[in-house]
A and B are shown apart, each in its own frame.
Chain A
């Protein structure tokens, strides 16, 4: 029972901290895009393309974390009950 609780806490930390990191990263990224677009409007399309690249890099690790959390909840936890 204690192990089950630890599995749920680990999953919550994986999802929560992953979401927090992505939120901070996207906040910074979006803010910089607005700043860059305001300074140099002609560069806006290029900045948007680069933001797409950075967004892919940014959210990959949290997404893998979410996948591992789902594995812990739906594949590991039922075996501990």
Chain B
């Protein structure tokens, strides 16, 4: 096991007695792209500021490369930040902004010039070196902020919602460039966002956060397909949550009642007959069949309430007998060239056995 590049050991930070993060422990592996994902106010920015040294923890240990840094000032840490507001120096040119860190480290002028130019090229700003900051577009300022941080070749690059001010197209493009930079530089990236799509498409690992705690850490696939609790399931992507009850447990499989229908469910440790559970299914995992065409498997019954055409998919909102809405996504394919339902048409909902996620009901 390689030594973590950043490690938190029961770190707590309070603002006016409200814990922003509470006894938090986690490790960042060298070279990985780790995303801290969570709603605003969940403490993810506080973690970045603690790593950068812009805040000091109230208790606990923070280590960078095995060295304790709790009270080391930011200018002595081998870590650089891309701020959400970019925080560029308005009185300097693009070149001077990027050169700032090297100048503080007294890098000789020749080497400095060469490294700044190489970095500007890496972020495709080589023609704009002499521009002033206010002459640049938002996307260009963003690139300057990135260049200013990576030119120092830090151990860890911290990115605090760096794309939140960009429009959707530019954001997509910057996400791709950031992944490319990450591969090329081999620097550890710690990225903060509240955008789950951004997190899923960019990260090696995601830490989903809520109220100053990490709810789950895992690869994007683990987070999406095997959420460990309802918060993670609901925060990452659309998901249907059905109420269920365990009826029987036998040989690692369950029999349960889901929304009033008796079904076979995959087993899960720690469940016993009588336990209330939540059965989770992604919209794209549901199979919708018209009742008129006959439904064989055990299924839930509902009526089509709304049909939303999305280009490559059609989203259905189906109302169950007890009034609970269910979201289902149908893909166009050869054998179902057109997907059409009458309003209020009765349908059956089923799914492939084993694709559901079963969580104990937290109450």
A complexed with B:
no
